[in-house]
Structure 1
Amino acid sequence: MYRGQRGGGKNKFFQRRKICRFCVDDGMEINYKNPKALKQFITERGKIIPRRITGTCAKHQRKLSIAIKQSRQIALLPFVGKPLY
């Protein structure tokens, strides 16, 4: 490549804008007592999935992380996932 030139071409992948599930559906509530709903937002290793991947807005991601942490404290969700060995 020459200096000043960039790799042009068309972008093969079009990333669709992610929308917040909680903003769209008013009936869906973030509650630490509901581990089934919270499990969608943690990995199999037990880590909280970031909002750039899930698509949740900042306001709901903060509430979600607090609810996950509360649920871990009262042993509804695990701190770590299953061991790999």
Structure 2
Amino acid sequence: GRADALRPLLREFTMRDARGRPLRNHPVEVQAKTGTLYFVSALAGYFTPPGGREMTFAVLTASDSLRGRIDPFRDTRP
């Protein structure tokens, strides 16, 4: 199906602790894709917790302060 067509675009993400150090043998597996567009960043994908039930997630963030500094006469504002 469609989900299978997206799999080649995803990459494995290693779970990390609060200091950014990789957590070896973490029970959750994550495959995801990053993306950006006009001051918006996203991370979306699948994660598999212990038990094997695959779940989806999406995190989107935006920078209103950067977007507000666009020069309307010089830059394209979406």
**TM-score range with shorter-chain normalisation?**
under 0.3
Query: Hey, which of these two has a bigger chunk of strand by percent?
Result: 2
**Looking at CA atoms only, which structure, 1 or 2, has the larger radius of gyration?**
1
Higher RCO (CA 8 Å, separation ≥ 6 residues):
1
